[in-house]
Each structure stands twice: as structure tokens, then as C-alpha cells.
């Protein structure tokens, strides 16, 4: 092969590598970001909370991602589970009301239904998180401190099986990431470099209160199983488990009960008539709200702990609109049965 032919072959090879190889990381991320940015939303909420003896309305902010043309938005349960009002803001500034249709606090994932879907909105693809590997580059889009559509970039640092990070989130399968995550990012999507949602931002571990490279994201496959395939029941209730000495001090007629902390307006729990607490108390170093109902049974299943929670969630998951909901409570020291129908 002569020198002219060799130079031509070398030039052609360079052209092929430049056109088919990976471009600069920033360009690749920028292109992926532009494709998916319109699917990301800012989730703004209001929630009732006891302040001293007064019931006040507290604003909240999180993130989410549109995953279906009919207006389903994936977000974190702790952002919306007990919210009285939810509004979703799109990239173009359009604000749409939303309601919770499924929620699993034990995995920190929830599904919203929008009243309508704005025309410019883009639907994100829910990817297969099982294909994600430690070391893969990823990016997060959300609203840290309420600043919408902020991009952060990092890698998958680790994968954690359910019930290995937090006992309070025993169902959550986590991807750990060093992408910057701060308050307001919760519920936002973590994307693969292909622009697919492979996780839902849950929380960080931080000693300073800010980003320290320890972010935890619930896998998309776990969210799919709990919200789309099983459709975990949304109660709209936040509770505090009473057992041991606390159960005895509060004269529970059984070893374990669930003390109602707050109830979201228009939720199934509110419609059934459950009442939240009215006064903050600190006992044995734990602060919670007292004065609310104590749940003893749901649909005839006694509250006993982890096993009963899963049984109750499974049974409630089969209920359809109009179905009867039966909750046995302790109110003012008396055992009472509440009956309601799901909206």
C-alpha cells in the first residue's frame, strides 16, 4: 500500500471514529438532557402540620417525571403522601393540579395523576434498572431548593438490596450515586446516558445537611412493580408505630398499634374519618404527635408489625372505587369501628 493510500485510509478511520465513537462527555450529556428535560416537573405541595397547638399549612417542593401520555407522574412518596394539595409545574411554566393514585412509603415511591397534560410535555421512557452497573455514568434532573430543571452528573456508586439501608424503607431497592442531590431533588428522575429513567431520587446521607456524594435512588424496576404492576394503595396517612412500653403506657388492648400523625385531605383515610394528632410530645427521645386515633385493625387484619403491613397493603391493593374500607381504632380510650367507601 503506497503512502497516499495509507493516508487516505487513516483519514477515513479517523472520520469513522469521530462520527461513531463517544463525543465529549459534556456534549453527550447535553444532548440527552435536551431530549428529556421537558418530561421533568417541579412538584409543589401544601400539607397540614401541628405547630404548638395550631394547625398550619406548610409548603413543600420536590420533583417528578411524566411517564405516560395520560398524565401519570412518578415521584417520591415522602413528597406527596400526606399532601393536602399538589400542583405540578412543567418546563414552560404550565401548572397542573395532581392527585396521588398509588404510594408506597416503604419504598419511597408514588404515582400522581394529572388533571391534564400540557401540549409541549414529553413523556420519559421508564428503563430497565437491572441493566445499570456500578461505574455507569448517570444524570439527575430536578429542583434542588426549588430551582427547577437543574442538571447534576455522576456515576452509579453501588447497588443495595431491599432492607439493607433503612429499616423504614424496607421495600426499597437503591442505586447509590455521587451525582449531587439536595433538598427539592426528591422524586426527580435519574437518567441513564440513553435518556431512560432508571431511578427515582429518594434521599441523601449527610452530616453537614448538604451534598456529600451519598445519594440514594429507588430503582425504576422496583417503582414499576410497586406502582404500575401492583399499584400500592395510597392511604394518605402518616403513622407512628406503638409497641413495647409505649403501647402499654397508652393502654393499647394489643401489643402493637399505629398512632395517626396526620391525614391528607380527601384521602381514603380522611374519607373514612380517621383523625390525626393534635399535640407534639417527646417520650424516650422520640418526638411524635399525640391525640390522634390509634389504628388496631384494617380490613379485619390486626396491626402486628411488618407482616401485617404487607398483608394489609396487599388486601387494600385489590380494592376498587366504591369498595368498603373498615378500620378499627382506639379513640378516647374506646374501641371504635370506622366505615368508609373509597372514592
What is the mean predicted confidence (pLDDT) over 70-83?
A: 97
Predicted local distance difference test score (pLDDT) of residue 49: 83
The DSSP string of 52-101 is TTEEEEEEEEEEEEE-STT-EEEE-HHHHTT-SEEEEE-TTS-EEEEEEE
For residue 199, pLDDT beyond 90: yes
Please name the CATH architecture into which domain 38-114 falls.
Answer: Beta Barrel (2.40)
Region 94-104 average pLDDT = 97
Q: Is the dihedral of CA 177, 181, 183, 187 positive or negative?
A: negative
Please check whether residue 79 is in contact with residue 186, taking contact to mean a CB–CB distance below 8 angstroms. yes
Give the residue-averaged pLDDT of 30-50. Answer: 94
Q: Give the integer Cα–Cα distance in Å for 125 and 36.
A: 9
- Cell digits of residue 77: 412518596
Q: How would CATH label the architecture of 237-341?
A: Roll (2.30)
Residue % of the chain over a pLDDT of 90: 71
Question: What pLDDT was estimated at residue 318?
Answer: 86
Residue 146: φ, ψ to 5°: 85, 0
Give the integer Cα–Cα distance in Å for 320 and 83.
22
Q: Are 83 and 77 in contact (CB under 8 A)?
A: no
pLDDT of residue 319: 87
C-alpha 148/C-alpha 93 separation (Å) is: 10
Q: Which residue has the higher pLDDT, 48 or 200?
A: 200
Q: Are 62 and 143 in contact (CB under 8 A)?
A: yes
Taking the model in full, what pTM does it have? 0.87
- Strand 54-66 relative to strand 40-51: parallel, antiparallel, unpaired? antiparallel
Q: Which helix (H) or strand (E) holds 17?
A: helix 3-20
More confident residue, 170 or 79: 79
Contact 146, 38 (CB under 8 A): no
Greatest distance between any 2 Cα atoms in the chain: 98
CA angle 100, 105, 109 (to 5 degrees): 60
Give residue limits of the domains in the chain: 38-114, 125-225, 237-341
**pLDDT of res. 88:** 98
Same CATH topology for 38-114 and 237-341: the answer is no
pLDDT at 74: 98
The residue count of the chain comes to 343
Indicate the SS3 state at residue 333. coil
Give φ, ψ of 91 to 5 degrees.
Answer: -55, -35
pLDDT above 70 coverage of the chain, percent: 89
Q: Which residue has the cell 450515586?
A: 177
pLDDT of residue 6: 43
Averaged pLDDT score across all residues of the chain: 88
DSSP result, 204-259: E--SSSS--S-EEEEEHHHHIIIIIIS-PPP--EEEEEE-HHHHHHTT-SSS-EEE
177, exposed or middle or buried, with CB in 10 Å at 0-12, 13-18, 19+? buried
Closest CA to 298 of 310, 282, 289, 290: 310
pLDDT at 24 over 60: no
Residue 248 has pLDDT above 50, yes or no: yes
User: What is the per-residue pLDDT for 116?
Assistant: 96
Instruction: State residue 63's pLDDT score.
Output: 98
Active site positions, annotated = 78, 108, 186
**Mapping DSSP to helix (H, G, I), strand (E, B) and coil, where does residue 14 land?**
helix
Q: Which of 140-144, 234-238, 314-318 has the lowest mean pLDDT?
A: 314-318
pLDDT at 27: 53
* pLDDT above 80 for 141: yes
The fold of the 125-225 domain, in CATH, is Thrombin, subunit H (2.40.10)
Amino acid at each position: 500500500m503506497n503512502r497516499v493510500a495509507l493516508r487516505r485510509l487513516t483519514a477515513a478511520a479517523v472520520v469513522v471514529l469521530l462520527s461513531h465513537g463517544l463525543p465529549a462527555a459534556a456534549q453527550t450529556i447535553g444532548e440527552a438532557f435536551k431530549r428529556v428535560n421537558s418530561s421533568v416537573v417541579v412538584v409543589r405541595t401544601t400539607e397540614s402540620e401541628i405547630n404548638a397547638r395550631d394547625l398550619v399549612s406548610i409548603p413543600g417542593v420536590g420533583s417528578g417525571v411524566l411517564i405516560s401520555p395520560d398524565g401519570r407522574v412518578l415521584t417520591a412518596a415522602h413528597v406527596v403522601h400526606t399532601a393536602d394539595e399538589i400542583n405540578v409545574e412543567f418546563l414552560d411554566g404550565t401548572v397542573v393540579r395532581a392527585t396521588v393514585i398509588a404510594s408506597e412509603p416503604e419504598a419511597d415511591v408514588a404515582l400522581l395523576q394529572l388533571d391534564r397534560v400540557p401540549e409541549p410535555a414529553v413523556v420519559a421512557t421508564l428503563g430497565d434498572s437491572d441493566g445499570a452497573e456500578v461505574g455507569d455514568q448517570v444524570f439527575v434532573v430536578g429542583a434542588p431548593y426549588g430551582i427547577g430543571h437543574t442538571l447534576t452528573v455522576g456515576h452509579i456508586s453501588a447497588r443495595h438490596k431491599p432492607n439493607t439501608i433503612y429499616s423504614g424503607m424496607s421495600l426499597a431497592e437503591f442505586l447509590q450515586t455521587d451525582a449531587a442531590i439536595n433538598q427539592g431533588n426528591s422524586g426527580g428522575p435519574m437518567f441513564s446516558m440513553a435518556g431512560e429513567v432508571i431511578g427515582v431520587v429518594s434521599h441523601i446521607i449527610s452530616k453537614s445537611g448538604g451534598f456529600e456524594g451519598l445519594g440514594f435512588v429507588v430503582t425504576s424496576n422496583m417503582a414499576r412493580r410497586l406502582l404500575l404492576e401492583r399499584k400500592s394503595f395510597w392511604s394518605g396517612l402518616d403513622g407512628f408505630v406503638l409497641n413495647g412500653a409505649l403501647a402499654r403506657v397508652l393502654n393499647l388492648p394489643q401489643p402493637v398499634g399505629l398512632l395517626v400523625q396526620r391525614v391528607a385531605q380527601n384521602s381514603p383515610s380522611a374519607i373514612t374519618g380517621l383523625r390525626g394528632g393534635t399535640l407534639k410530645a417527646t417520650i424516650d427521645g422520640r418526638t411524635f404527635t399525640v391525640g390522634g386515633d390509634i389504628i388496631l385493625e384494617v380490613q379485619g387484619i390486626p396491626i402486628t408489625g411488618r407482616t401485617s403491613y404487607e398483608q394489609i397493603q396487599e388486601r387494600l391493593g385489590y380494592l376498587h372505587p366504591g369498595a368498603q374500607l373498615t378500620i378499627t381504632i382506639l379513640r378516647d380510650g374506646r374501641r371504635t369501628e370506622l366505615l368508609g367507601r373509597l372514592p
